[in-house]
Structures are given as C-alpha cells and as structure tokens.
Structure 1
Amino acid sequence: MATKPIAAITGLGFSTLSREPGMSARRLACDAARAASLDSGQALSSIDGLLLNRSPIEPHETLPLTVQRDLGLHDLGLLASIEGEGSSVVQMIQIAALAVNSGMVNRVACVFADAPIRPAVNSGQTFAIPLPLTGIEGWEREIGLFGASAAFALVASRYMNLYGANEEHFGAWAIAEREWAMRSERAFLRTPLTMQDYLASRWISRPVRLLDCAYPVNGAIAFIVSRADEAAAAPAPAYIHGMGQGHSGCRGFGALEPEFDNGAEQAGRTAYAMAGIGPADISSAQFYAPFSCAGLVAVENYGFCKRGEGAAFVADGNTRPGGSLPTNTGGGMLSGYYMQGATSLSEAVIQVRGEGGQRQVANDLVLATGLGGRQEHHAALVLSPHGRL
C-alpha cells in the first residue's frame, strides 16, 4: 500500500562551522535559521513555529526562548526548547511534523546550536564531565569516570568481550567515515587515514582511541518543517515518511544489556512500520555515532545485520563508498564534524535532495538517527524525495 508523508523538511541552513572560538551559540542559531528560511524559498516571517535545542551540558540561557525576538518572529503557534539528550534534533523534527500535520502550525524552524570551543577551553575539556551511569549520586566522579569517551569505552569493551571484535574492527568504521569525508567540502578531517594511522593514535579511554572519537565544532544547523501539501512548491523537499523513538529505561543491571538493549531497535521498528518498509529498502543510513563502537552497534540495532555481526559487516566494507549500505556519507561525527543529531540529519537531507556532489548515493529512502546519553535515548526518521512511496 502506498504511504503518504507526514510532513516535509523544506529548508536546510548552516551557520559558519569552526574549530575556533567565536560567536555565541545564540547568534549562530539565528544565522542558521535565516539560512534555512532562505533555502526554503519562503520569508522568515512566514515561520509560525520555533523549536530549539542546545547541548544537554549547556545551561538554558545558552539558547533561550527569546531567540524568537532575535529573529523578529511574531505570533508563534509553537515555541519550545526540546531536551532528549542526543536524540533531541530528530525529536524536534518529529514534534514539528506532528504539529504541522495536525494544522496547529504551518512552518516550523528547528534549530540546534552549540559552541563548545571557547577561549582557553577546548572541546575535550568541555565534554570531560561525569556521565551518570548508575543513578548513584557522585559515584562516577568519585571513581574518575569522566566524559562520554569513558562511558562508551565500556560499550566497546563489552562488545569485544561478547562478540570477539578487535581494534581493527573499530578502525574499519573510522576509516570508512574518513573516506566519505574526503569527498565532502564541509568535513574537517579530509586527509587519508590508514589502519596503521588509526592504531598509532593515542588512547583516550581504553579501548577507545583518539580516532574513535567525535570531532566537535562550533556552529548551528537549522531545518524548516512544512506541511506535506506545501512541500511540492519548495525547491527540494525531503518528505518524512516514518519516525520512531525508543527509550529503554533501567530494568536493573541483572536484566539489561544497556550497551545493546537500548531503544534503537524500537525506534527503527516504529519508523519502518510507519513508512511501510524494512531495513532492506534503505538506500543510505546516517547514524548518530559519536564513537566507532556506537556505529557497529547501530547497524545491528537498526536491522542491517544480526546482533554481534556489526564488526564483520563494517570490516567487509559495507559502510564505505561503494558498499551495500552507504553510511555517514558526509564523514560522520568522527571525520566530518560533531554537531550532535544535526550532523546525521543534515547529511540525510543533503542526500535526499541529491546535493551530495562527489559523495552522492542512491536516495530513495534515507535513515537518520539520534542517540542520547549512554545510548538510553533514540529517535529515527525515514526520509525520501518522493511524495508517495
């Protein structure tokens, strides 16, 4: 049965992306929102909804609701700051799609902005904070477990222990993303990467190496979400055909493998069912994978191979240029840039619109995902250039 879209992404806008201290996240957000509106072919004043997302480690005043005033927007029918950890950007699009589909609003700007690199503070220092894993107040700080790299090192270690993966399997993920980055004008790391280079990179939190880690930048990315019936008049709409979320919660350490049973499968299953498709129908995947191990787990949880087979799937070249599942085609978060969920979603929109240049791949159905915390929070979208599947 043919399925009609829920809504469409009709505009995509970037601020300047930089590894140097500079403008505030608030100012960057305004630049991206204006660029997205211009890209959509509609005036900024036509926006009647605004959703904002900042990094979860930043205070509210980093990106306050008064961004509405900064943009000169009036009489909004929807205004909120969305917090779903790293799944927030995809969640913003989902909320906007539901709002326009219901008739509550017509056009929603969804904006993510972050500026972790500041004078005398680099991105590593910004993210080197305790990441709660146990629910025991202060436990992580007391034992010296700092930053997402330490938390995901537990994921990588568990994966290696259960499924026999080795360092080269994680290296294969990083190398594949670098190969895509070499084809992208926006990617920050574009020099060739060999396995020898990867294995020579220093440990951050064993078994996570420097080249397993995301590459943060300062910047903002914005999306305009419109009604599906309005989208046909847009220059290059990306229709939203499926969406889902999954939040596993904590069932107790004895009954849960949080590294793997984490909600991603639920998010994907819901999005696929809504679109009336399955994983085999996906043309390319844009995963939220801030560490190599998260990429291996993602290809399993979203149904592209069985549990424990992700390492071999990646090592066999399936995610590389020319592979069976072109993945993170802008260079991903390791070699492209880390703008949280906006990294994967923006590349999904670029691919759907056929604007990937040297990295363009088949674009009938593109999967974009978000991931938050230590993989507790997941959201997914299925996008297509087609108004009907």
Structure 2
Amino acid sequence: MNARFLVVGLVLLSGVGLKVPPALGGHEALSALLPGNPLEGSRFFIEKGCLRCHAVQEVGGVTGPDLGRGILNRPLLEIAGVMWNHLPGMEHVFQEKRVVRPTFKPSEMASLIAFLYYLSSLDPPGDAATGARLYRQKGCQTCHSLGGKGGRIGPALDEYSRYASPLFLTTALWENGKAMAEKMREMAVPRPTVEGNDVPDLLAYIRAAGRGGLERVYAPVGNPGRGEKLYRTKYCVDCHSIRGHGGKVGPDLGITVKGSLMRIAGAMWNHGPKMWAEMAQRGIEVPSLNAGQMSDLISYLYFFQFIDPPADAARGRAVYTEKRCGTCHAAPGIGQTVGPDLAKVEELGTPVEVITAMWNHASKMEAVMLEQDIAWPILKGGEMADLIAYLLSARAGPGRSAGPRSSAPQGDRR
C-alpha cells in the first residue's frame, strides 16, 4: 500500500468537498459548513509531509501516532488544540530529520483538519477470527447459511463476501430488521445487538468463509446534503431533533450520536424495535433505505459531531491570562508587545486564521518562550475554542460584537 490509497479510500468513504447543508429549514445554528474539503486535506497530509511521521491505519510513518486509530475523535477546535500541544515535539522531529517545517494557508489548514476529523469515521479493519466467534455467539447460523453451512430460514450470506464495506451489511440489517425480529420472537431466539467493531468483524468473517467470488463492491459515497433531505423525507425528524430542532419523542441525534459511520448504523439496528413500535403507534411505515441512502443518512448524522460546543469569551480571557499569552502578545488591557497585538492583526478574523497563525509562528514562539523560561502552554478540552472566542471578541473592540461565528473554519476569506 502507499500514500495514494489515503486519497482513494477517502473518495470511497466520504466523497469530495462535502458540506453540511442548512438543516431543518436553514436554522442558523444548524447551518455550519464542513470546514474545508477532506479530500483536499488528504492531499495536504501527503504533500506537507505529515505521512512521513504519521500513519493512517498502518499506512505511513511510525515516528508519531497512527492518526487512523480514533485518537482525533473530537470536535474541530479540540483537534486544533491537540496539534498545538504537540508542536514542540514535532518541531524537534523536523530538526532531527532535517525536514523543512510546513506552513499552511487558512484554506489548507481547514481542509487538513477536516481530513483529520474524518479519519475517526473509519472503523478499524475487521478481524475474521473475532467475526467467527461473534457469528456463533449471536446465533446468525440459526437462520443463515455461509459457505454452504447453516440454516435455511433466511437468505445465504455468501453474497456479502463481495462487499468491501460493512455498509451493505448494515443496510440489509435495517431493511430486513423488522421481519427478522418478528421471526426471532416466533422462534424464541434472543435478538442480538451489535457494539464496537462487531459489524466490520462479522463482515471480515463472511468475506473469509463465504463463496462470493473475488469481485469487490465498494461503498457508495455518502453525501450529507442528500442525507439531510432523507432525514426529513424518511420521517426521522418527526421523532428526533438535531441540536434541539425537530421531534422530541426520541433522543436528540445532534447530541447523542457518537462514533464512526458503522457505529451509527449499528445504533440504528440496536434501537430498531423501539423505533418500529413508535412508528406503528403513529401510523408511520418503516422507511426503506438502500445502501446509497444509508451512506448519505449516517454521513449527515456523523458530521454533527464535528461542531464544537459553544465557546465562552470570558473563559477564554482566563485561559489567555493563565497560559501567559500576555507575556508576549497584547490584547485589550492585557499583555506586552513582544509579539503582535492580536486585536489588530488583520489576518486573525476567523477561527481557522487564528489556528493557522498559531501553527505557522510556533517556532518563533517556542524560541521566545525558551529565552524567557516559559513552559509551552497546554490547551485542554474546550480551552482552544474559548481562547479563540476571546481573541475574536477582542478584535471587535469595546462596545462592539465580534458577530456570530461558527466554530467551523470557513477557509480563506474573500
């Protein structure tokens, strides 16, 4: 495998230039755009040399951690905080390897962070041995045959050995889930649930034991824009809300949905009986989803994890003081002028511009900190978001508002 597979894999799994569209009537709080282009971000990840030190699911360097293992499963500005925290260590590696430290434009940084975020949607490769154990434990062989062995009540599962993605299996589970539940109840067979990496593991076993041939069928590209429409037309909005907007029967999916694409699909299977019962009570037919629609819908739900919680400028002012930013930088009423006055720098008008400037100037900042015996400040949790909120409010000046801004960076301003 080589670096090109990062780009190919992202095309197969995420699509090009995806954006989260205005949701539920275009409410401003839900209209945050995906900050940058994940596909472009994968290109920058390679071109800027990130792949030399970091792998993505075992493809790439080993100096730094494998970024495809879920360590960046957090909101946008927390990812930026992780990057900031590790800048001194990365700087030392650049020097040891005699590699020129890369710089970024705001649009490039936005796309890179979008790519890093999207990596958390990728499930680890399934394990066939684990899948074989799960297949037996969950009683799949009671109704289904595989490789010529097993039950004949349901269809043979050999067909699914052709599929490279678990998406097709989860779609089939949703489409046939109600009928399967009724049959299990009739047979007094407990209905199994899935968790963690169960679905990829089961698919790995099906691919190993099935008789589906060598052909590989890849997952259709998920499009959150189409997913938002499906969310409404398939009646999800009747029972579920997104960040407080929508139905109140089920949980708020903008808050409770967590994890990778397949974990979201697995949660749909696990909660199927409750949803079907509620639909029956309301006279709603269980919506049918093909693989493309399933991909679109779960992609839409996945991207809501990207949005940072609301930041607080007052907390950000405390972070600015506690982390000793004012030792070098001036802000209204706080700080020195070793570095530029952050309230007056023209290029610091959006969160992504602040993040980009922090990255590009980190070497100079570290040198000054070493001279003044100042420890590199570590930003935890929402501190990066709060700090940026404070800096943007400081730019607005007394008596003026910085204006409503999404925490999602929008790339270069025009």
Instruction: Tell me the TM-score normalised to structure 2 length.
Output: 0.26
Structure (1/2) with the larger helix percentage: 2
Structure (1/2) with the larger strand percentage: 1
Q: Which is higher, the Rg of structure 1 or of structure 2?
A: 2
Higher relative contact order (CA 8 A, sep 6+): 1
